[in-house]
Amino acid sequence: MLWAIPTLVGISLVVFLLTSLLPDPALEADASTDGTTETGTGAGAVPDGPRLLRAEEARRLRFVDLPKFINENPEDVRVRTQATLDAIAAGGPEGDLAELRLARIGGAALPTALPRLSSMTTEARRRVARALTPLAVRMAVDPFALGSSPDDALKFWERFWQDHVMDFTPGASKRAVERLVRHGTELRAEELASLDTYALADLMEAIDATDRHDALLQLMKIVAKITDLAPPDEATTPKELEALRAQYSFFWYVHRTDYVPLEGLDRVVASVTETRYAKWTIGAFTGSLEMLDPPTKSGNSSPKAAHRRAEGDLRHRLARRATVTLALIFLSLFGSHLVAIPLGVFAAARSGRRVDRLLSVVLFFIYSLPTFVIAAVFRGVSGGTVVAPVIALSLGAAATLSRYQRTALLEVLTTDYVRTARAKGASNLRVLLVHALRNAILPIIALAGVQVPQLLGGAFVVEEVWQIRGLGWETLRAIERRDVGWLVVVVCLTAVLATFALVGADFVQAALDPRARETFRRRGEA
């Protein structure tokens, strides 16, 4: 069992390194340009801010902006806010882009940005006030309160921070969210709107914990207002709302550190978790690795987004597809053993005779046929019956297992206790089925663990031939869509399934074979 852990870690590393090399259309399109556009007025090239932000978001969704394994300096909301303030103070094209970044951080940046205004130059303070204007709009601030000049806006933000500094505390934010969930009034919604993104952590926690339809609608509408996520409407069904909640959770999985500070143990943990490898592996095993563009207010017409709207989030898709594939695998595993064991016994009983040689040739021919050939033949003969895919998947495994069964049985028949049973007058049938088969069947049980990953590979082919919507069918569609998240999860799931199949086969063999139990006991004592 202990070997399962390093095996899974090794497989996850290989998957991570391979998938990190996969190209992404969004990143390729971004690399084809230099991040600038011509103004058309002779002013030269200036950064296209919205396009650069979209490119940054594409990188964030694939965690390309994170270090691979160790993050020596995890960036939280305070680090990001200070970086934007420094860029704004420096001015230039990068300062213009920093203004857009500051507006996206929103209310979460205020506890860091507003107290530091006094230490900035007059021009930098004016630019910060300009960058915070979209935030004021989201907070439903009276436009007249901002005034008509940058100096008036600066005075407004100074007064705002004096009046609301106590509202921007973790306890106040949490209480505001709890009041909204409990009462759900417009006044409570306005109270949270004044906190903007500062309340995102508590809002996302409430979205994950709440099952009330009306409360979820209100919470998601507030989150959509302060982010670029698509809001639900009153006609949203519970199923659609659940899928939307999963998409909101993925957004938070990617952007959490943009809006929360990392202190103490959180910063230490973040040095490992806020890395590309950790994000991919944790997301794969928790079902959070939805590497698709989140739903936005502007909509998304990409093939990946359309598929997500139709099929739901990664976790629900995986549950539906895995159930179909696992049922196909274990039915085939049962069917292959049901055929292989009698064939192996029959071949051993007729060892060296013409029927044994003929059976050997036939089974070798079946074993040598690719799975897609067998599936295509059965598809043409049987049409769309349910039994045909199971038979097509079982044949190759049955051919292999039957030969192993024959060899194991012939070996057992040469042992002393079998010769003793014959000397006592036991019939050939009794010797085969009662005395020999009990020991000869144990290697076949161990081979079942090896057959599971082989059947999984064959299931991918069978599903495509019969258009069965399991893991294989979905994986081929994911390759077409470049859905990296699904590919990572499926490969990791395959590794987990193969590992536990091998370990489970060993435990079953140990339960049936006293010699194996004794071996395990000695290893445990050592």
Q: What is the pLDDT of residues 317-339, one digit of tens each?
A: 888 888 899 999 999 999 998 99
Highest average pLDDT, of 135-139, 293-297, 308-312, comes from 135-139
pLDDT of 23 reads 56
Name residue 185's amino acid: T
Reported as a pLDDT band with limits 50, 70 and 90, residue 42 is very low
pLDDT of 270 reads 92
Residue 353's alpha-carbon distances to 114, 349, 436, 485, in angstroms, are 92, 9, 20, 54
Dihedral sign from CA coordinates of 382, 383, 388, 393: positive
pLDDT of 205 reads 93
- Rounded Cα distance between 374 and 395, Å, is 8
pLDDT of 115 reads 92
Q: Rounded mean pLDDT of 350-367? A: 87
Least trusted range by pLDDT, from 17-31, 203-217, 458-472: 17-31
Residue 413 has which token pair?
């028949």
Q: Rounded mean pLDDT of 500-507? A: 82
pLDDT of 43 reads 39
pLDDT of 112 reads 94
Residue 341's alpha-carbon distances to 199, 269, 382, 424, 431, in angstroms, are 63, 52, 25, 26, 16
Highest average pLDDT, of 7-11, 154-158, 309-313, comes from 154-158
pLDDT of 448 reads 84
Question: Tens of pLDDT along 146-185?
Answer: 777 878 888 888 888 988 888 899 899 999 899 888 887 7
Reported as a pLDDT band with limits 50, 70 and 90, residue 287 is low
DSSP 38: E
Q: Rounded mean pLDDT of 66-70? A: 87
Least trusted range by pLDDT, from 40-49, 75-84, 208-217: 40-49
Gap between the terminal Cα atoms of the chain = 16
Reported as a pLDDT band with limits 50, 70 and 90, residue 196 is very high
Highest average pLDDT, of 84-93, 137-146, 374-383, comes from 84-93
Q: What percent of the chain clears pLDDT 90, i.e. is strictly above it? A: 14
Domains of the chain: 315-525 (1.10.3720.10)
User: Would you mind telling me the total number of residues written for the chain in this entry?
Assistant: 526
Q: How many CA atoms lie within 13 A of 499 on its CB side?
A: 18
Least trusted range by pLDDT, from 219-233, 287-301, 347-361: 287-301
- Rounded Cα distance between 16 and 26, Å, is 19
Burial of 395 (0-12, 13-18, 19+ CB in 10 A): buried
Query: What are all long-range contacts of 29-35, with beta carbons under 8 Å and residues at least 24 apart?
Result: 30/55, 30/58
Q: What is the dihedral of CA 228, 229, 235, 236, to 10 degrees?
A: 180
Reported as a pLDDT band with limits 50, 70 and 90, residue 262 is very high
Q: Which residues pair with 296 in a beta bridge?
A: 229
pLDDT of 146 reads 78
Greatest C-alpha distance within the chain: 110
pLDDT of 381 reads 66
Stated pTM of the model: 0.65
Question: Tens of pLDDT along 372-407?
Answer: 788 888 777 665 566 888 888 888 888 888 988 888
Evaluate if residue 353 carries a pLDDT over 60. yes
Question: Tens of pLDDT along 467-494?
Answer: 888 888 888 888 777 676 677 778 778 8
Reported as a pLDDT band with limits 50, 70 and 90, residue 33 is very low
pLDDT of 45 reads 45
pLDDT of 525 reads 66
Pick 139 or 285 by higher pLDDT. 139
Residue 344 has which token pair?
């192996």
Evaluate if residue 286 carries a pLDDT over 70. no
Reported as a pLDDT band with limits 50, 70 and 90, residue 200 is very high
Pick 310 or 361 by higher pLDDT. 361
The mean pLDDT value of the chain amounts to 80
pLDDT of 46 reads 45
Least trusted range by pLDDT, from 30-44, 200-214, 366-380: 30-44
Evaluate if residue 60 carries a pLDDT over 50. yes
pLDDT of 311 reads 53
Reported as a pLDDT band with limits 50, 70 and 90, residue 106 is very high
206 and 177 Cβ atoms separated by less than 8 Å: yes
